[in-house]
Amino acid sequence: QPVNANLEDRVELLAYDTDLSPYAPGDTMTVGLYWLALHGPDQDYKAFVHLTDADLTSQPAQHDGDPGGGFSPTTRWLPGEIVPDAHHLVLPEHLSPGRYLLWAGMYEHDTVRNLAVLSANLPTAGGRVLLGEIEVEAQ
């Protein structure tokens, strides 16, 4: 799915892919992100995928890490390079059934500051891009 989210003119989240079909507590959800280096980043940023409740009051699952599974730190990116990045979210066993929101973005490791989203094809909030909703069903 196209995203085209510009993060501080440093990187762009081009697209993502995942299965948005219903999940059950304890399932593992895989989210593929596709990053584009707009400039050679001057520091190593961390990518993240967060799962929140619809009211944004809890975050029951997340995965943060170096893009490309740690094999492609952002300081090695060349302008115009596209970097695939897989994230695996393990849904808690006690997760209540309902609708949850899936977010993605990138942050500065030292300050834990999300890069601001300057533009995107999808809704944004707090330096995160809303990728979609998932349904968690009772087991």
Of residues 17, 1, 23, 3, the one with CA closest to residue 134: 23
Instruction: Read off φ and ψ for residue 48, nearest 5 degrees.
Output: -145, 155
- Looking at the DSSP bridge assignments, the partners of residue 119 are 6
Contact between 138 and 97 (Cβ < 8 Å) = yes
Residues 6+ apart with CB under 8 A from 39: 9, 10, 79
Type of residue numbered 37: A
d(CA 47, CA 87): 9
Q: Phi-psi region for residue 108, left (φ > 0), alpha (ψ -120 to 50) or beta?
A: beta
pLDDT in tens for each of the 139 residues of the chain? 999 999 999 999 999 999 988 999 999 999 999 999 998 788 999 999 999 999 999 999 999 999 987 778 899 999 999 999 999 999 999 999 999 999 999 999 999 999 999 999 999 999 999 999 999 998 7
pTM, entire model: 0.94
